[in-house]
C-alpha cells in the first residue's frame, strides 16, 4: 500500500554534500579559488614538512613570496607528489577580493568569522591589514589573502598562516600554542606566560650556545597525546633593542618592527640547534627578578592558566575543546616558575639546564 507524504532521500549523505556546495561561504571560497588560479604566470611554490604533514604553499607573486617564506626556511622540503594541505596565498594587489559573504556581526573578538558548521570551513578576518584566512577541511585547501603585499605587518612576517596552521594541526594531533620552547639533547621545556616576563630573552639567549636547542619564541606546536613533544614552526623572535644589545644580537637595518620590538630570525649559524622535535619534560613560567635565579614548582591549575589564556586569546575559533587539550597537557607535565635575574639570562639558563637534566630533583 502506498504511503502518503514526501519520498525519503535515498542517499541523505550525498544530499547534504550537495547542499553544502550552495552555502554562501562555500560559493565564496570556490569563487576566490577560481580567481586565484588565473594568477598562474606568477606563482612561487614552497613545500613544507610540518608536524608530520606535507604542506604546499602557492604564493601568488614573488614579492609576497619573499616577505613570508623566510619564516619557513627550516621546514622546506623537495616537492612531493601530493600535499596533505595546499595553501593559496595572494594579495589585493593582484587579486581583488569579492564581497565577503559575512555580516559585520559575524566578526568575533579574535578575528574569527561565524561560518555554517555544515560548510566545513573555518575563517578569520584581521582588521587593519585586512587579512582573510579560510580553510576548507573537506577539500584540504586553504586561502590566505591580504589587502596589500607591500604592507604585511611585522608580526605576520614572523609567524604567517598561524590561524590556518592552528585549525589544520588540531585535527591531526597537534595544537599550536602561544609559547617559546628550548631544550638540550632533544629534551625540552615550554616557556609560557604574559608578555614582558622574559620568554623571548630566555629563548634567544640560547642562540649560538651549542648545548642549547631553539624551537621557537612566540608559537610552537605541541602533540596532543603523551608523551608530549614540541615541534618548531617559526624560527623567529621578538626582542627590544635593549634585550638584543644585552645578548649581543645584531638587529638588521631593515628589520621589521612590532611596536617596541624588532623581529629577528634565528641566524644561519644555528641550523643544528633547530630540532625536529623535543620531548617535553615540563612547563616553565619566567619571572623577571633582581634576585639570583631559582625555581619553584607550580600547581596544574597555575600551569593551565599560564599556558591556556594567551593561546586561547590568540587563536580564532579556539574553544572548549582547545581548553580541554591545553588543560590535559598542563596536568600531564610538571611546571615551575623560574626567576630571570635582570640582565643575566645566562644564570636562568644554567638553572634550566639542571632542570632538564634531572627534572625529578625539582618536583615535590
The pLDDT of residue 19 is above 50: no
36-62 burial, b at 16+ Cβ within 10 Å, e below that, comes to beebeeebbebbbbbbebbbbbbbbbe
Number of H helices, E strands in the chain: 10, 19
pLDDT of residue 268: 62
161 lies in some domain: no
- CATH code of 215's domain: 3.40.50.300
Do 107 and 204 lie in one domain? The reply is no
Do 128 and 257 lie in one domain? The reply is no
Spatial CA neighbour of 16 closest among 138, 190, 154: 138
Structural domain span for residue 280: 175-362
Q: What is the DSSP letter of 224?
A: S
The pLDDT of residue 4 is above 50: no
Say how far apart CA 139 and CA 17 lie, in whole Å: 12
User: What proportion of the chain, given as a percentage, has pLDDT over 90?
Assistant: 40
5 lies in some domain: no
Say how far apart CA 281 and CA 262 lie, in whole Å: 30
- Number of domains present in the structure of the chain: 2
Do 25 and 131 lie in one domain? The reply is yes
Reported as a pLDDT band with limits 50, 70 and 90, residue 46 is very high
Do 300 and 262 lie in one domain? The reply is yes
Query: Is the CB of residue 17 less than 8 Å from the CB of residue 140?
Result: no
Q: pTM of the prediction?
A: 0.87
111 lies in some domain: yes
Say how far apart CA 188 and CA 199 lie, in whole Å: 14
Task: Convert the pLDDT of each residue in 103-155 to its tens digit.
Answer: 655 565 567 777 777 788 999 888 888 899 999 999 999 999 999 988 888 88
Q: Averaged over 315-319, what is the pLDDT?
A: 82
Find where cell 610538571 sits: 334
Helix (H) / strand (E) element for 281: namely: strand 278-289
169 lies in some domain: no
119 lies in some domain: yes
Mean pLDDT across the chain, nearest whole number?
Answer: 83
Q: Which spans in the chain are helix H?
A: 12-21, 24-36, 62-69, 154-158, 162-169, 199-204, 241-246, 300-314, 320-332, 345-357
Query: Is the CB of residue 285 less than 8 Å from the CB of residue 307?
Result: no
347 lies in some domain: yes
The pLDDT of residue 266 is above 70: yes
Do 221 and 295 lie in one domain? The reply is yes
Q: How many CB atoms within 10 Å of residue 320?
A: 8
Q: Nearest 5°: CA angle at 172, between 171 and 174?
A: 95
Amino acid at each position: 500500500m502506498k504511503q502518503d507524504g514526501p519520498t525519503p532521500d535515498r542517499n541523505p549523505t550525498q544530499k547534504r554534500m550537495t547542499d553544502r556546495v550552495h552555502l554562501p561561504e562555500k560559493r565564496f571560497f570556490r569563487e576566490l579559488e577560481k580567481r586565484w588560479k588565473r594568477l598562474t604566470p606568477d606563482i612561487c611554490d614552497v613545500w613544507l614538512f610540518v608536524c608530520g604533514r606535507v604542506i604546499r604553499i602557492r604564493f601568488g607573486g614573488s614579492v609576497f613570496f619573499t616577505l613570508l617564506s623566510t619564516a619557513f626556511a627550516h621546514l622546506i622540503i623537495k616537492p612531493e607528489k601530493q600535499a596533505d594541505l595546499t595553501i593559496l596565498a595572494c594579495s589585493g594587489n593582484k587579486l581583488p577580493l569579492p564581497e565577503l559573504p559575512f555580516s559585520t556581526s559575524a566578526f568575533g573578538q579574535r578575528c574569527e568569522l561565524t561560518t555554517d558548521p555544515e560548510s566545513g570551513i573555518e575563517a578569520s578576518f584581521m582588521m587593519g591589514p585586512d587579512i582573510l584566512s579560510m580553510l576548507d577541511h573537506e577539500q584540504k585547501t586553504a586561502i590566505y589573502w591580504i589587502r596589500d603585499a607591500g604592507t604585511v605587518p611585522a608580526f605576520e612576517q614572523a609567524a604567517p598562516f598561524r590561524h590556518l596552521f592552528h585549525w589544520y594541526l588540531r585535527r591531526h594531533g597537534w595544537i599550536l600554542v602561544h609559547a617559546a620552547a628550548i631544550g638540550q639533547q632533544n629534551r625540552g621545556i615550554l616557556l609560557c606566560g604574559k608578555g614582558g616576563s622574559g620568554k623571548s630573552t630566555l629563548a634567544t639567549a640560547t642562540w649560538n650556545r651549542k648545548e642549547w636547542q631553539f624551537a621557537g619564541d612566540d608559537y610552537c606546536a605541541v602533540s596532543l597525546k603523551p608523551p608530549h613533544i614540541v615541534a618548531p614552526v617559526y624560527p623567529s623572535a621578538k626582542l627590544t633593542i635593549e634585550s638584543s644589545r644585552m645578548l649581543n644580537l645584531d638587529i638588521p637595518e631593515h628589520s621589521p618592527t612590532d611596536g617596541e620590538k624588532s623581529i629577528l630570525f634565528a641566524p644561519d649559524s644555528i641550523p643544528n640547534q633547530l630540532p625536529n622535535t623535543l620531548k617535553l619534560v615540563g612547563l616553565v613560567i619566567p619571572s623577571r627578578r633582581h634576585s639570583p635565579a631559582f625555581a619553584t614548582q607550580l600547581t596544574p591549575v597555575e600551569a593551565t592558566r599560564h599556558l591556556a589564556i594567551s593561546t586561547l586569546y590568540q587563536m580564532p575559533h579556539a574553544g572548549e575543546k582547545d581548553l580541554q587539550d591545553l588543560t590535559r597537557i598542563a596536568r600531564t607535565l610538571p611546571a615551575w616558575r623560574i626567576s630571570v635575574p635582570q640582565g643575566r639570562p645566562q644564570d636562568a639558563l644554567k638553572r634550566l639546564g639542571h632542570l632538564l637534566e634531572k627534572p625529578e630533583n625539582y618536583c615535590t
